[in-house]
Amino acid sequence: MSGGRAASPGPARLMPSRARSPESVPLLCRDPRTPPVSRVSTSCDCHPVGAAGKTCNQTTGQCPCKDGVTGITCNRCAKGYQQSRSPVAPCISESPTDRTPP
Protein backbone atom coordinates (compact mmCIF):
# COMPACT_ATOMS: atom_id res chain seq x y z
CA MET A 1 0.00 0.00 0.00
CA SER A 2 1.35 3.42 -0.87
CA GLY A 3 1.74 6.29 1.60
CA GLY A 4 -1.07 8.22 -0.07
CA ARG A 5 1.27 10.81 -1.55
CA ALA A 6 1.32 11.27 -5.28
CA ALA A 7 4.68 11.75 -6.91
CA SER A 8 5.16 15.31 -8.07
CA PRO A 9 5.55 15.63 -11.84
CA GLY A 10 8.90 16.60 -13.25
CA PRO A 11 9.48 19.57 -15.56
CA ALA A 12 7.29 19.69 -18.65
CA ARG A 13 9.13 18.41 -21.72
CA LEU A 14 8.63 20.08 -25.06
CA MET A 15 9.97 16.98 -26.82
CA PRO A 16 11.94 13.87 -25.88
CA SER A 17 15.65 14.47 -25.55
CA ARG A 18 17.77 12.33 -27.88
CA ALA A 19 21.51 12.09 -28.12
CA ARG A 20 22.54 12.40 -31.77
CA SER A 21 26.18 13.40 -31.73
CA PRO A 22 29.42 11.75 -30.58
CA GLU A 23 29.90 14.56 -28.05
CA SER A 24 26.88 13.32 -26.12
CA VAL A 25 28.52 9.95 -25.41
CA PRO A 26 30.03 9.88 -21.91
CA LEU A 27 33.80 10.22 -21.87
CA LEU A 28 34.14 6.73 -20.42
CA CYS A 29 32.60 5.25 -23.58
CA ARG A 30 34.80 7.15 -26.05
CA ASP A 31 38.24 6.08 -27.18
CA PRO A 32 40.51 8.54 -25.33
CA ARG A 33 42.98 8.50 -28.25
CA THR A 34 40.36 9.95 -30.58
CA PRO A 35 39.43 13.63 -30.16
CA PRO A 36 35.72 14.50 -30.11
CA VAL A 37 34.23 15.43 -33.47
CA SER A 38 34.06 19.18 -34.03
CA ARG A 39 30.58 20.64 -33.48
CA VAL A 40 31.16 23.17 -36.26
CA SER A 41 29.75 20.77 -38.83
CA THR A 42 27.41 18.97 -36.41
CA SER A 43 23.76 19.96 -36.11
CA CYS A 44 22.88 21.36 -32.70
CA ASP A 45 19.38 19.88 -32.80
CA CYS A 46 17.97 22.99 -31.07
CA HIS A 47 14.23 22.67 -30.42
CA PRO A 48 12.29 24.60 -33.11
CA VAL A 49 9.90 26.17 -30.56
CA GLY A 50 11.92 26.34 -27.31
CA ALA A 51 15.19 27.65 -28.75
CA ALA A 52 15.77 31.35 -29.41
CA GLY A 53 18.09 30.51 -32.31
CA LYS A 54 19.47 27.63 -34.37
CA THR A 55 23.13 27.91 -33.41
CA CYS A 56 24.53 26.49 -30.21
CA ASN A 57 27.65 26.98 -28.14
CA GLN A 58 30.29 25.00 -30.03
CA THR A 59 32.00 23.90 -26.81
CA THR A 60 29.04 22.93 -24.62
CA GLY A 61 26.36 22.29 -27.24
CA GLN A 62 23.90 24.49 -25.32
CA CYS A 63 21.25 26.09 -27.52
CA PRO A 64 20.02 29.62 -26.68
CA CYS A 65 16.67 29.12 -24.91
CA LYS A 66 13.63 31.39 -24.76
CA ASP A 67 12.48 32.73 -21.36
CA GLY A 68 11.28 29.92 -19.10
CA VAL A 69 12.77 27.18 -21.28
CA THR A 70 15.70 24.96 -20.28
CA GLY A 71 17.64 21.90 -21.45
CA ILE A 72 20.65 21.60 -23.73
CA THR A 73 18.35 21.68 -26.78
CA CYS A 74 15.73 23.94 -25.08
CA ASN A 75 13.19 21.13 -24.99
CA ARG A 76 11.51 21.55 -21.58
CA CYS A 77 10.06 24.16 -19.26
CA ALA A 78 12.22 25.39 -16.39
CA LYS A 79 11.18 24.92 -12.76
CA GLY A 80 8.37 27.34 -11.96
CA TYR A 81 7.15 27.40 -15.57
CA GLN A 82 4.47 25.42 -17.37
CA GLN A 83 4.01 24.63 -21.03
CA SER A 84 1.77 26.93 -23.04
CA ARG A 85 0.43 26.58 -26.57
CA SER A 86 2.25 29.69 -27.80
CA PRO A 87 5.26 29.28 -30.11
CA VAL A 88 6.38 32.77 -29.02
CA ALA A 89 6.35 31.96 -25.27
CA PRO A 90 6.28 28.14 -25.02
CA CYS A 91 6.71 28.18 -21.23
CA ILE A 92 4.85 30.58 -18.93
CA SER A 93 5.37 31.36 -15.25
CA GLU A 94 3.41 29.37 -12.66
CA SER A 95 3.71 32.32 -10.25
CA PRO A 96 0.67 32.68 -7.94
CA THR A 97 0.65 36.43 -8.68
CA ASP A 98 -0.07 35.63 -12.33
CA ARG A 99 -3.23 33.69 -11.46
CA THR A 100 -6.65 35.16 -10.92
CA PRO A 101 -8.53 34.16 -7.73
CA PRO A 102 -11.23 31.45 -8.14
The structural domains of the chain, ordered by start, are 40-93 (2.10.25.10)
Residue 30 has pLDDT above 90, yes or no: no
Per-residue pLDDT reduced to its tens digit, 39-94: 444 568 999 999 999 899 999 999 999 999 999 999 999 999 999 999 999 999 99
Question: Structure pTM?
Answer: 0.54
Under DSSP, is residue 13 helix (H, G, I), strand (E, B) or coil?
strand
- The Cα-based distances of 98 to 80, 81, 91, 95, 101 in angstroms read 12, 11, 13, 5, 10
Contact 75, 62 (CB under 8 A): no
